Amino acid sequence: MTEATRECALYEPLLSGALDNELTQQQQQLLQQHLQRCEYCSAKLAQLEQQSAALRAAQQTMPEPTMPHLQTTTTPVWQWLGWLLMLVGLLVIGGWAAYQYVQDASLPIWLKLAVGAVYLGLTVLFIGVAWQRKQQAKTDRYKKVQL
C-alpha cells in the first residue's frame, strides 16, 4: 500500500460525509485540501455526487406506492345481518339445549350444577374480555394506522 492510497483511505469516509453535509468545518477544510492534491478522490467525489443526484431524480419521478384498499372503513349491511342471524340462531339453539338439560331428570343435580358453573364461568370471562377490549379501544394508539 503506497503512501497516497493510505492517505486516500483516511479521507474516503469524509467523502460521504461531505455529500450529506455532516462534516465539521475543520473536516471540510482538510478534505478540500486533499481534493486539490488528489485526482482520484476528486473523481470519486464527483462520481458519488452524480449517483446521489441520479437517486434523487429517480425518487422524484417514482409514483407514490399505492396499496389496494384491503378493508373498507364501514362494515356492509349484509355482514351485520349475517352476524345477527347467527347470534339469534345460536341463542335459540342454546336456550333450547339448556331447557332440555335442566328438564332431564335422569342427570344428577351435581352434574347439572358443575356444567352450569363451567358455562357461567365462560360467560363471565367472555364478558370481562369484551369489556377490557372496549376500554382499551378508547386509548388505542394504533387505531388511526392504515395498512
pLDDT in tens, 75-133: 788 888 999 999 999 999 989 988 998 898 898 999 989 988 998 999 999 999 999 99
* Whether residue 100 is found in the same domain as residue 133: no
* Whether residue 56 is found in the same domain as residue 12: yes
Query: What does the pLDDT look like over 44-81, one tens digit per residue?
Result: 999 988 988 888 887 777 676 666 665 556 678 888 89
How crowded is residue 18: how many other Cβ atoms within 10 Å of its Cβ? 19
The sign one gets for the Cα dihedral 121, 127, 129, 131 is negative
Provide the domain limits for residue 130: 108-147
* Whether residue 132 is found in the same domain as residue 115: yes
| Domain total in the chain | 3
Tell me the pTM.
0.40
